[in-house]
Amino acid sequence: MQTSRSTGHHLTEKINPRTTNIDELSTTEIVDLITNEDSEVINAVSKEKENISNAIILVLESLKNNAKIFFVGAGTSGRLGILEAAECPPTFGTDPEMIQAIIAGGKEAVYNSIEGAEDSDVDSVVALKEKGLSKNDIVIGIAASSSTPFVISAIKYAKSISCNSVLITCTPAESEADVVITLLVGPEVIVGSTRLKSATATKMVLNMITTASMIKMGKTFGNLMVDVQPKSSKLRDRSIRIVSEISGVDKQEAETLLQKATWNVKTAIVMKLKDLSVKDSEKLLNTKNGFLKKALS
């Protein structure tokens, strides 16, 4: 069991003394006040960099074993998990099954608030069992208050089958999770509204976990997303620009290469820079586990 730095009343439910007269302020003053409160978020995240790094190490351990990541949350926390899971396939070319999200209340809760759903200590376990959670996977629980039954039961279930788990919270608490990321952003602008600072800090951490993991899995070349899935005109244009940038060709030739490579950015680049066929380029990339830099070197 990992224990965060201290325990006490939920910070997310405490009254923020700096915002008690927010309803008496001008619109501009409200914006300034919220901006000042949000400035605390970066510092809170920075203080947890060691735990965030440890979480990324666990995620990589699962991904390298062809296992899965499960984000589990309720309300805003659950929606943040869904957003993160949904963004990875188009950005990094991941299989939709690799990174999944479970939200209390199911699909309906994505669009409509189903507050009572978070109190179930059974539903998340049922969902994880249905998805076939294994000891090689990892469960990332998201609970600003640290005590959401839907999330805590998921972490306990993961523990029971020797599956690694991470808890992302904004309130100090004890947890059975292997890594606890405690984002002490302080009381919210509106008491208990964790869609504000807590959500902002949580989204930053989720971004770090998925982005760093994908980089370590060879999904980028420098800061270019070479596993992008060009399923829209915007993403096709981005793919052309990436091939042009790395291969040193004009956009017309880059598009021709991509068409030959069935719009696989990595394959198109290897074809040009290593003077190989589509088949041989794909074979070379496979021998390098998809790492483009290694294939080119």
For residue 163, what are the CA distances in angstroms to 58, 81, 111?
Answer: 10, 19, 30
- The answer to whether the CB of 99 falls within 8 A of the CB of 85 is yes
Catalytic residue among 87, 176, 245, 253: 87
pLDDT one-digit tens code per residue, 159-169:
999 999 999 99
pLDDT at 5 (0 to 100):
38
pLDDT one-digit tens code per residue, 37-62:
999 999 999 999 999 999 999 999 99
pLDDT at 115 (0 to 100):
74
pLDDT exceeds cutoff 60 at 6:
no
Average pLDDT over residues 177-193: 94
Angle of the 197-216 helix axis to the 49-63 helix axis, nearest 10: 50
pLDDT at 83 (0 to 100):
97
pLDDT one-digit tens code per residue, 63-93:
999 999 999 999 999 999 999 999 999 999 9
Average pLDDT over residues 125-154: 96
pLDDT at 10 (0 to 100):
72
Percent of the chain at pLDDT above 70? Answer: 97
3-state secondary structure of 186: coil
Tell me the residue length of the chain.
297
Considering the chain, what is the average pLDDT of its residues? Answer: 94
Residue 118 catalytic?
A: yes
Give the chain's domains with CATH numbers: 2-216 (3.40.50.10490), 233-296 (1.10.8.1080)
pLDDT at 1 (0 to 100):
45
d(CA 118, CA 67): 26
Task: Count the neighbouring beta carbons within 10 Å of the beta carbon of residue 32.
Answer: 12
Catalytic residue among 37, 118, 255, 282: 118
d(CA 68, CA 74): 20
d(CA 294, CA 297): 5
DSSP code for 9: S
Q: Lay out the sheet containing 179-182: strands in order across.
A: 99-103, 69-73, 138-142, 164-169, 179-182
3-state secondary structure of 18: coil
d(CA 78, CA 111): 11
Instruction: For residue 83, give both structure tokens.
Output: 């957003």
Question: In which band, very low, low, confident or very high, does the pLDDT at 170 lie, cut at 50, 70 and 90?
Answer: very high
